[in-house]
Chain A
Amino acid sequence: MVKIALISCGTEYSGVQKEIEKAANTFGAEIILPEIDLDYINEAYEKFGFSAQSSSLKLMIARAMSIVEGKSKADAIFIATCFRCAEGALVRNVVRQFIQANTRIPVVTYSFTERTKADELFIRMEALTTVVARRSILAREKQEGLTVGIDSGSTTTKVVLMENNSVIGTGWTATKDIMGSVDTAAAEAFEGTGYTMDDVDGIGTTGYGRLTIGKNLKAELIQEELSVNAKGAVYLAGHQKGDATVLDIGGMDNKVITVNNGIPDNFTMGGICAGASGRFLDMTSRRLDVDISELGPLALKGDYKQAVLNSYCIVFGIQDLVTTLAAGGSKEDAAAAACHSVAEQVYEQQLQEIDIREPLIQVGGTSLISGLVQAVSDVLGGIEVIVPDYSQHIGAVGSALLVSGMGNRQDNK
């Protein structure tokens, strides 16, 4: 059983301990609390050097130290502090950095409220357990045989057919009815390949609809998108060795994943905020009366500084956009401002929570918006941003890659 160490300032006082344990148990993991004696708290705390006022934060620091020093054993670490506690947020971050600098144990951080429920934590717990328990699958570098990957996202459903390490068909459609959307995208992916779904060796599913689709199609691999996208990204970017950061600005949430030798070792996942997502750019393009595919090139021609636009909230963001255009602002400047605003917000809310390792591989449908890719690079001080081929199909490619070698549907016939 995967042991996830809980390092927190007091989840038990917030009424969320049960939810955290429930989320871990759902994925075959158990929550453990690193045991330490009283004397060690002061010793570890002094050594660490952060003069926290709250003694629970001192305990949190000591628990982290005990793992780093090998006094406590854990396969993965879940660091949590109360939402809106400044000292908690500071300690959460420095403890995360400390663990990452000194161990290879996967870490995920979270700030909770009394309303935090287990299902909000599912994807994080699933990714943590995957990284630990399914390391061998994640180590796969080459796709073999004929496999299909299905990514059922909040906005679009993608299907990719791969054969002998190459993508031979892709399909993409707006997500409506879950299985109906899969059929539509699959028909597009199989078209002209001479194959049907009956010919494939394995099916891998990911995304919000993965469980439903996986059950319906009896998929060999049903996997959350953090590890699948990370794998797909480094595979397509030809960067399976060494460090990289994967950024996926999705339709509903955003993911940032750091990867070492193809295996994710840390990630952060944004909350559900439309202002920092692809949804905002979708609405912007509609308001500008351009196709979403034209938004990127349009933004590259504009200057974001010429338009006041702040997408902290999608409603205010669109209001700003309307005001800018009404005041005679150009479409180009408004498009550039929209891209910059999303990039800046993703940076503020997420990118600074993770130690960015170059190159940054940007994936997902929004990676096709060139203005957004440029804005991300600018916001990060001009770092190298790679957008690989099939970047919009990343989850489906990752699923098709990871399921290869697992499926034996043809033998079972």
Chain B
Amino acid sequence: MVKVAIYPPNSLILADLIERKGHTALALQKEVRKKVVDPEIDSPPMNITEDDPIKGLKYAAIEVPSGVRGRMSIIGPMIDEAEAAIIVDDAPFGFGCVGCARTNELSTFLLRNRDIPSLELNYPSSRDETMDMVNKINDFLDSLKSLEGS
């Protein structure tokens, strides 16, 4: 079982494909869930408090807006934890989206520079391309089996 980061980090389709192959998807929803099951919700709806953008300073300077740093406080540790990554570029927001172009730029940069097995694809625009994308993802996930236990 390999921990696979995905981008967009909240793509249900990518997370599902990963889980089906027996790996762990590092999905944004799981991290947000940890924050919202906290008995004290200080900052609804996601319970990102003013401390979180400060934690995000590990990934982006103070001059970078707080929204980017708040997002990075959740996404950054997932990138650090990843053992493999799947990035889908130019995806429509229905596929998964963090709603911030600057976060996208930084997150994909950090993933590309993690020196881990990664697969980067463009979002498909036809049925054939979609099948091709899913096949490539499945092949990539199968290839990760050699990493298990290493």
A84-B63, A111-B63, A348-B62 given; A53·B101 CB < 8 A: yes
Query: Cα distance A49–B64 when bound, in Å?
Result: 19
Residues in B neighbouring A36, C-beta threshold 8 A: none
Q: Which of A50, A90, A348 contacts B54 (CB 8 A)?
A: A348
Interface-facing stretch out of B21-29, B31-39, B107-115, B133-141: B107-115
Number of A-B residue pairs having CB atoms within 8 Å of each other in the complex: 52
Query: Cα distance A50–B68 when bound, in Å?
Result: 16
Query: Cα distance A283–B68 when bound, in Å?
Result: 34
CB distance from A329 to the nearest CB of B (A): 20
A49-B112, A86-B68 given; A93·B57 CB < 8 A: no
Which chain A residues (91-114) contact chain B, with CB distance < 8 Å?
Answer: 92-94, 111
Closest B-chain residue to A109, C-beta based? B61
A27 within 8 A of B: no
B145 within 8 A of A: no
Query: Cα distance A84–B63 when bound, in Å?
Result: 6
A49-B108, A94-B109 given; A86·B57 CB < 8 A: no
A316 within 8 A of B: no
A87 within 8 A of B: yes
Cβ-defined contact, B102 with A87, below 8 A: yes
Cβ-defined contact, B57 with A90, below 8 A: no
Cβ-defined contact, B58 with A352, below 8 A: yes
CB distance from B12 to the nearest CB of A (A): 23
Cβ-defined contact, A90 with B102, below 8 A: yes
B65 within 8 A of A: yes
The interface size bin for chain B is: 20 to 34
B60 within 8 A of A: yes
B97 within 8 A of A: no
B128 within 8 A of A: no
B17 within 8 A of A: no
Residues in A neighbouring B58, C-beta threshold 8 A: 352
Residues in B neighbouring A50, C-beta threshold 8 A: 105-106, 109
Which chain A residues (319-360) contact chain B, with CB distance < 8 Å?
Answer: 344, 347-349, 352-353
A49-B113, A53-B101 given; A89·B57 CB < 8 A: no
Closest A-chain residue to B57, C-beta based? A352
A217 within 8 A of B: no
Binding site for A on B (CB under 8 A): 54, 57-58, 60-65, 68, 89, 101-102, 104-106, 108-109, 112-113
Contact sample, A vs B, 6 pairs, CB 8 Å cutoff: A50-B106, A50-B109, A51-B108, A84-B63, A90-B60, A353-B61
Beyond contacts A86-B65, A93-B61, A94-B106: 14 other A-B pairs, Cβ-Cβ < 8 A, are: A49-B108, A49-B112, A50-B105, A50-B109, A51-B108, A52-B105, A53-B101, A83-B63, A86-B64, A89-B64, A90-B105, A90-B106, A111-B63, A352-B57
